[in-house]
Amino acid sequence: MSHLVVRGRRINWTLVLVLGYLFYLLLGAMVFQLLEKQAEAQCRDQFQLEKLKFLQNYTCLDKQALEQFVQVILEAWEKGVNPEGNSTNPSNWDFSNSFFFAGTVVTTIGYGNLAPSTVAGQVFCVFYALFGVPLNLAFLNQLGKGLNAHLITLERWVHKPGRARVVQTLALALFLTAGTLLFLVFPPMIFSYVEGWSYGEGFYFTFITLSTIGFGDYVVGTDPNKHYISMYRSLAAIWIVFGLAWLALVFNLGADLMEKFLQLNWHKPGTAEEAITKMEDDPDQPRIHIPS
Amino acid sequence: MCRAQGEAVAGRRWRLPGTLLLLLAYVGYLLLGSAAFWALEGPASHQSAQQLLQDKWELLGNYTCLKGPALERLIQGIIKAYKSGVTLQGNSTSLGRWNFVGSFFFSVSAITTIGYGNLSPSTMSAQIFCIFFALFGIPLNLILLNRIGQLMLSGVQRCAKRLGEKLHWQEAATILTRTCALVTGLLLFLLLPPFLFSVIEGWTYEEGFYYSFITLSTIGFGDYVIGMNPDLTYPCWYKNLVSVWILFGMAWLALVINLCITLLENSSDLCQCGKKKSKELEQELMDGNKNSSPRPDDVESCSSKDTKPEDSQSEWCAQSLSETM
């Protein structure tokens, strides 16, 4: 009987969850529309104006030719060729760029400023991701375990008997602060220095990358007018890998807290998140034993 | 407490070769992939770059009043406009991309971490909102996916149980139902949707499959995105259906990928039990028998589970057991 009641409650919670999700999405859609629509309209008008001005200045050009030219540029852009500058700028698919691309595939960031255009490349990409994504997750898992081991070592330094909860919270807060500084606050400064973005843009890039959303509107090391030091992209890749492990931990913590807050204490059978949850659970085990 | 800390430290020392192996495999895999992409895409990219350059020179040759710098400036303007999501072909009467349906699709792509990037916020306030929106949306999305995956799993298990009761052969029923579920999922989420895309979007089947996979794995390059062709009129149910497909398909693919991970990790630490127990015992020895009471149950479980070869491990178990005693 109790099982039935529990089941009834669970279904209810699922419904609430779905409704909350939908509501959240609708809210987001509304706000984004509100914020972006005006800017978009402005941008569109400006572009049309620019086109007209261009036509006026260069009278030998007719409208059709210009439209055709726009089409050519867009096609080139979608294929990943940067139409600015001349042919001397390096190929998009040289080795270091391919490496960066492979990294964005397996981490599921997927900036999309580069994407395979040949059929062979696309097919390979599918199978590459099929095996690469689990491998990457396993790797991040291992890294997360390493980070947690550090957390425990840190706890030993701070530990005083009889103040387990305080220590636990303190260690967590310290861990979060250090991670935030190292992975979220400092990198935008470097990016703003090297790429010439504002700090806000750098921070936006940092977050969009580490959350693996990866819109691809800002990508490091793609400006053809800049000379980057050779280590720059490799350093960025290392930062991404460690930052991903850290942010996965934080998101997991957030999901856990949200579940606790909603008092949804069901058992998780194997799902994608459980693997990540494991690394959270491991350090919890010793903490429970603290009083003894 | 001490024991627990020591275990963690010892655990780090013990797992290091495994981590190193994984790191090597990871880097090797990345190198392999980059070499393959380099070989596959390099020539095509070179060709399209040449094509663009030729077109540009042709234009400059045909229209002699045009000058190089002016053209460059025009190109810059075009790209800037394209990046902020303006549809450039045709005239200005076409609807913008940031209408309600478009914004909704953008929200979905943000919190599922697909991030197509064909649309992205350009104003400062929208970027800041996007960060906070994703910060709370991604955990919410994870919970929901978790939930859907669970419901799917429990459905499959219930089916297996019922079938097993009918057939009086539980194992066969389980295997049968799981295979069925896998095949159905494969059909429903990966093999059939490309047909829909090829009918409505006019892609080839292969392109549709590529889009499906890139979407469901949340990579989301954004080179192919549904409902973005201004020349086509889409049925109104189309985008909603695709949103539902994304949600369920992601839960399904997460289940499958998770299965892969479990297989990968299981194969790497087969004899975890033996190692772990001996580690604990070793640590107790190092602590100088301060708080250690010998725990026969651990040792028992170790030796009973560790019936497989691994002689040195069980020897080590026995040795440390006698020393602790």
Say whether pLDDT at B282 is over 50: no
Q: Name A197's Cβ contacts closer than 8 Å, sequence gap at least 6.
A: A191, A205, A218
Q: In this predicted structure, which of A155-169, A250-264, B109-123 has the lowest mean pLDDT?
A: A155-169
Say whether pLDDT at B194 is over 90: yes
Interface mutation target, options B51, B219, B261, chain A, most CBs of A under 10 Å: B219
Give residue-wise pLDDT tens across range A149-170: 776 776 666 655 555 667 767 7
Which pLDDT belongs to residue B101? 77
The answer to whether residue A6 sits within a structural domain is no
* Domain range for A216: 95-288
**Smallest Cα–Cα separation from B243: which of A28, A30, A22?**
A22
Q: How close A163 comes to chain B (CA, Å)?
A: 13
Q: Give B303 or B95, the one with higher predicted confidence.
A: B95
**Smallest Cα–Cα separation from A276: which of A251, A241, A259, A240?**
A251
- Longest alpha-carbon distance in chain B: 96
Mean pLDDT estimate for chain A:
74
- The answer to whether B242 and B226 are in contact (CB under 8 A) is yes
Q: Residue A52 to residues A65, A73, A258, B41: CA-CA distances in angstroms?
A: 13, 18, 53, 37
The answer to whether residue A79 sits within a structural domain is no
Q: Which one of B11, B63, B207 has the shortest CB-CB distance to A65?
A: B63
Q: Work out the number of other CB atoms within 10 angstroms of the CB of residue A8.
A: 10
Say whether pLDDT at B288 is over 70: no
Q: Residue B305 to residues A192, B18, B67, B124, B310: CA-CA distances in angstroms?
A: 56, 22, 80, 59, 11
The answer to whether residue A123 sits within a structural domain is yes
Say whether pLDDT at B91 is over 80: no
pTM for the model stands at: 0.74
Which pLDDT belongs to residue A17? 80
In this prediction, residue B275 has a pLDDT band, given cuts at 50, 70 and 90, of: very low
The reply to whether residue A153 touches residue B146, judged by beta carbons under 8 angstroms, is: no
Per residue, what are the HEC states of B36-85? Answer: HHHHHHHHHHHHHHHHHHHHHHHHHHHCCCCCHHHHHHHHHHHHHHHHCC
| Percent of chain B whose pLDDT exceeds 70 | 71
Residue B204 DSSP class: -
The answer to whether residue A38 sits within a structural domain is no
Mean pLDDT estimate for chain B:
72
A:B CB pairs within 8 Å: 420
Which pLDDT belongs to residue B72? 75
The reply to whether residue A29 touches residue B53, judged by beta carbons under 8 angstroms, is: no
Q: In this predicted structure, which of A122-126, A238-242, B47-51, B144-148 has the lowest mean pLDDT?
A: B47-51
Residue B95 DSSP class: P
The reply to whether residue B117 touches residue A214, judged by beta carbons under 8 angstroms, is: yes
Q: Which of A38-52, A259-273, B18-32, B50-64 has the highest mean pLDDT?
A: B18-32
Q: Which one of B26, B38, B65 has the shortest CB-CB distance to A58?
A: B65
Q: What angle do CA A17, B243, B94 make, to 5 degrees?
A: 130
Mapping DSSP to helix (H, G, I), strand (E, B) and coil, where does residue A214 land?
Answer: coil
Q: For chain A, say whether B58 makes contact (Cβ under 8 Å).
A: no
The dihedrals phi and psi of A87, each to the nearest 5 degrees, come to -70, -10
Say whether pLDDT at B25 is over 60: yes
The answer to whether residue A114 sits within a structural domain is yes
Say whether pLDDT at B144 is over 50: yes
**Smallest Cα–Cα separation from A235: which of A187, A176, A189, A195?**
A187
Q: Give A236 or B84, the one with higher predicted confidence.
A: A236
Measured CA to CA, the distance from residue B89 to residue A74 in angstroms comes to 10
Which chain A residues are closer than 8 Å to B72 by Cβ?
84-85
Q: What angle do CA A191, A197, A202 make, to 5 degrees?
A: 55
Which pLDDT belongs to residue A151? 67
Q: For chain A, say whether B100 makes contact (Cβ under 8 Å).
A: yes
CA A65 and chain centroid, separation: 40
Q: Give A40 or B148, the one with higher predicted confidence.
A: B148
Which pLDDT belongs to residue A189? 92
| Percent of chain A whose pLDDT exceeds 90 | 6
The answer to whether residue A64 sits within a structural domain is no
Q: Which residue has the tokens 């999405």?
A: A25
Q: Which one of B64, B115, B142 has the shortest CB-CB distance to A255?
A: B142
The reply to whether residue B81 touches residue A153, judged by beta carbons under 8 angstroms, is: no
In chain B, how many H helices and how many E strands?
11, 0
Which pLDDT belongs to residue A85? 57
Give residue-wise pLDDT tens across range A43-86: 777 877 887 887 787 777 777 777 777 777 777 777 666 666 55
Mapping DSSP to helix (H, G, I), strand (E, B) and coil, where does residue B292 land?
Answer: coil
The answer to whether residue A21 sits within a structural domain is no
Model-level ipTM above the cut of 0.90: no
Measured CA to CA, the distance from residue B25 to residue A102 in angstroms comes to 14
Q: Which one of B142, B153, B209 has the shortest CB-CB distance to A251?
A: B142
CATH number, position A262:
1.10.287.70
Number of domains observed in the structure of chain A: 1
The reply to whether residue A33 touches residue B122, judged by beta carbons under 8 angstroms, is: no
The reply to whether residue A271 touches residue B115, judged by beta carbons under 8 angstroms, is: no
Q: Give A187 or A140, the one with higher predicted confidence.
A: A187
Measured CA to CA, the distance from residue A251 to residue A216 in angstroms comes to 22
Give residue-wise pLDDT tens across range B54-85: 877 777 777 777 777 777 777 777 777 776 65
**Treating both helix axes as pointing N-terminal to C-terminal, what angle do B100-111 and B237-268 enclose, rounded to 10 degrees?**
10
Across the range B250-271, mean pLDDT stands at 73
The answer to whether residue A130 sits within a structural domain is yes
| Percent of chain B whose pLDDT exceeds 90 | 7
Q: Give B150 or A291, the one with higher predicted confidence.
A: B150
